[in-house]
Chains A and B, each alone.
Chain A
């Protein structure tokens, strides 16, 4: 196996129907590589939540996943509106999702709590009006 495996995805912000596709792809790759199902579950949940957030809150972005011997790093980057109050946004139940989004099943305000719960490291780098970059790590 090579030292580091890298995946890059462009996440379309206008298409709710393909939302989650990058996470599904990463899951399939990790499955093929026979990673521990618990690790795959953590990475899938955390990445899905971040991917969906970029689609519903930030009009899309990019996802980069790096797999090394020690950890899986997920970097999600968008040029959306940014998050004015990260502490608030991280709270369980906090959501600014509009009704049309809620009707699709989003808006529980559990995305960030899930990302935190299922990763060993979560950093949110955000500037209002410029965008958001989220870095997550899952230890192997």
Chain B
């Protein structure tokens, strides 16, 4: 399933990057050292952190997309860094919980 395919489901808009990639698996969490060791390549990472350090962790762990929950404001240096590093960022007004529920449903239906 591609990132694009779930955008509508989680009411997300694409802030930057390529959303035509496939994803596999989801990680949710805001503590960077936790995310660092748990976000796997190709995952969707759902978080409410939106600073440049999130982009650094994403650059190293290579999720298919980072979903910023609760429409948190993305800082300008973070956006710049995300674009430079080819990170796909989405923004959704939903809570991290709601996003995960909907991702789960989308994936289950897709099987």
Size class of B's contact patch? Answer: 20 to 34
Q: Specify the main secondary structure of chain B where it touches its partner.
A: helix
Is the CB of B107 closer than 8 A to any CB of chain A? no
Q: What is the minimal beta-carbon distance from B30 to any residue of chain A, in angstroms?
A: 6
Within 8 A of B (CB), among A101-125: 104-111, 114, 117-118
Is A65 positioned at the interface, with any CB of B under 8 Å from its CB?
no
**What are the residues of chain A within 8 A of B54 when measuring CB–CB?**
105
Does residue A49 face the partner (Cβ distance < 8 Å to B)? yes
- Interface size bracket, A side: 20 to 34
- Give the residue name and chain of the B residue nearest to A111 (CB): B33
Per a CB cutoff under 8 Å, which of B36, B51, B81 touches A48? Answer: B36
**Chain A contact residues: helix, strand, loop or mixed:** helix
- Which residue of A is nearest B84, CB measured? A24
A19 within 8 A of B: yes
B residues neighboring A (CB under 8 Å): 30-37, 41, 49, 51-54, 56-57, 59-61, 77, 81, 85
